[in-house]
Amino acid sequence: MRRFCFLLVVLAGVLQRTAPAEDKDKMRLFNTFYLDGATVTYVLTMRQDRTFDLYSAAGGHVSGTFRPNDEFFSMTAGAVKRYFSYSFKSRNVKLGSREMDRTIKGDLLGEMPPLHESSGHALYVAEGEWRSKGRPLFNPQEAAAKPAAPVAGVQEPVIGNPRPANSPPAAAPQPPAAPSPSPASPPPPAAAAQPPGSCADLAGTYYPRGRKNECLVITANGCFAYVPPQGAAQNGALLRTDYEITFVGAASKRYFTLRLVPGGFELARRATDVTKPGDVLGGMPPQDREPASWLKEGAEQAAPAAPQAAPATSAPDVPRAQPAGVPVKSLQALVGKFVYKPSPFLAETLLVAEDGSFTYKDSAGANATGKLRFEDDVLVFASGEEVRRFTAVLEGPNLTLTRAKDDSPKSKNDLSSMSPTTLQTAKYEKK
């Protein structure tokens, strides 16, 4: 019996030492890797918020989410999903194809090596190792923006002139005047079909619906300038597919889906869109998961006026008052199932039982269980070594979680990926 107890103590010690090592291995995935070879072919960036970007040297690009465990990880982009085993060699990572993995010809993620189990492992070299070998670094902005002007120091469009000191602020940002052609310039060519990635159909000056204190200028050659209410313009380049558009600034990028609407377009944040506090481009609408409409200058004025309503005996249409959020004070108020969809491709589910235990899952494979408790007015989720801290508000039956000041996910398990993470707030719907 004494020997049996001794073995249990030894086993517990081994498990305690192994778990942190496995967590540390997961964190080694958060890097930029190059498929090993003499030239740049595939470049993969994986982040702590479980998003990734995959590039090819020819300018191909796809974004999505990945979910790692101790042996393998999955990568999902739209309808394409791949499964890879992984192991580390120094700072580099070796990927192997899993039995469940399915390749898709003609798709960037679908053709990412290794392609099948018989092909063996593919070595992806960490960016630091790649640089130390003297190999050329890949700049996705330059590769995808050609022939657009370089991101750094983009000169067009220039928005206005700096305000002199002590002068009153302008009522609204002034868009740039169209350049006048020189007398010797030939007449413009006839309109042609727009090539893929063209921004010619978006060229113009836009304002957020109902506001004139900020504007967005887009040129036909794929440049943009965003002027926030504070007036500090941010210039950059645009990368566009049929229904996705990326704004590439000097210090950050924004990722949106694009939908043309009468008089302008609508932007909705993609799963990979992560804003940085204090960044000018990060403040451009939309900020939450609801789309934002940008209308071309003059579109609102040019739109036909709505017909006047005929006299009626019924009361006029008055906007309904939205119910105020009620702070959650007891665990019993949280019992049930709540679902949050940060993107069309990902759903997060939170189940809370009457005893305060919870289960968190998402459609990409994350899974965590634990207990809830209150510390003052802060709702604490605890799952093993991972702890998340939120303020909780019920808006009707739905649950809004806002990150507390001391919420600091450590990637100890999948609870670290529970929303909100990169955003401050997430609204879970009661099901």
User: What value does the mean pLDDT take over residues 322-333?
Assistant: 77
Q: Per-residue pLDDT for 18 more than 70?
A: no
Domain presence at residue 76: yes
Q: Say what the pLDDT of residue 389 is.
A: 94
**How many other C-beta atoms can be found within 10 angstroms of the C-beta atom of residue 298?**
12
Domain presence at residue 188: no
**Backbone angle region of 50, left / alpha / beta, with phi > 0 → left and psi within -120 to 50 → alpha:** left
- Look-up of token digits 């740049």: 40
Domain presence at residue 6: no
Query: Token pair of 324, please?
Result: 């105020």
**230 and 127 within one domain:** no
User: What value does the mean pLDDT take over residues 133-141?
Assistant: 81
Q: Which residue from 245, 281, 238 is spatially nearest to 260, judged by alpha carbons?
A: 245
**267 and 247 within one domain:** yes
**380 and 345 within one domain:** yes
For 8, the 3-state DSSP assignment is helix
Q: Per-residue pLDDT for 314 more than 70?
A: no
Q: Say what the pLDDT of residue 7 is.
A: 52
Domain presence at residue 176: no
Q: Measure the CA–CA gap between 360 and 349, rounded to whole angstroms.
A: 6
Among 11-20, 233-242, 246-255, the range of highest mean pLDDT: 246-255
Domain presence at residue 381: yes
Q: Per-residue pLDDT for 62 more than 70?
A: yes
How many residues can be counted in the chain? 431
The residue type of 323 is P
**How many other C-beta atoms can be found within 10 angstroms of the C-beta atom of residue 395?**
14
CATH code assigned at 403: 2.40.128.640
Tens of pLDDT, residue by residue over 165-203, are 344 444 455 554 444 444 444 444 443 445 546 788 898
Tens of pLDDT, residue by residue over 66-106, are 888 878 889 988 888 899 999 998 889 999 988 888 888 88
**76 and 24 within one domain:** yes
**289 and 149 within one domain:** yes
Of 253, 281, 299, which residue is a domain's last?
299
Q: Per-residue pLDDT for 140 more than 80?
A: no
Q: Measure the CA–CA gap between 151 and 144, rounded to whole angstroms.
A: 11
Q: Measure the CA–CA gap between 73 and 67, rounded to whole angstroms.
A: 5
User: What value does the mean pLDDT take over residues 240-248?
Assistant: 83
Query: Token pair of 355, please?
Result: 């005893």
**205 and 289 within one domain:** yes
**377 and 341 within one domain:** yes
Q: Per-residue pLDDT for 123 more than 90?
A: yes
Of 259, 284, 299, which residue is a domain's last?
299
Q: Say what the pLDDT of residue 139 is.
A: 79
The proportion of the chain whose per-residue pLDDT surpasses 90, expressed as a percent, equals 25
Tens of pLDDT, residue by residue over 264-280, are 999 999 888 888 777 88
**116 and 73 within one domain:** yes
Q: Per-residue pLDDT for 388 more than 50?
A: yes
Domain presence at residue 389: yes
Domain presence at residue 186: no
User: What value does the mean pLDDT take over residues 248-257?
Assistant: 86
CATH code assigned at 294: 2.40.128
Range name among 8-17, 77-86, 226-235, 286-295 with the lowest pLDDT average: 8-17
**252 and 390 within one domain:** no
Q: Which residue from 160, 188, 195, 154 is spatially nearest to 174, judged by alpha carbons?
A: 160
Q: Per-residue pLDDT for 29 more than 80?
A: yes
Among 240-244, 257-261, 343-347, the range of highest mean pLDDT: 257-261
Among 171-185, 241-255, 262-276, 288-302, the range of highest mean pLDDT: 262-276
Q: Say what the pLDDT of residue 305 is.
A: 42
Of 282, 299, 316, which residue is a domain's last?
299
Q: Say what the pLDDT of residue 318 is.
A: 39
**235 and 277 within one domain:** yes
Say how many Å lie between the first and final Cα of the chain, rounded. 51
Domain presence at residue 344: yes
Domain tally, the chain: 3
**263 and 149 within one domain:** yes
User: What value does the mean pLDDT take over residues 144-156?
Assistant: 44
Is 0.85 surpassed by the pTM of this model? no
What's the sign of the alpha-carbon dihedral 184, 186, 187, 188? Answer: negative
User: What value does the mean pLDDT take over residues 316-336?
Assistant: 69
Q: Say what the pLDDT of residue 420 is.
A: 87
| Cβ contact 31:46 at 8 Å | yes
**256 and 151 within one domain:** yes
**Enclosing domain of residue 392:** 326-430
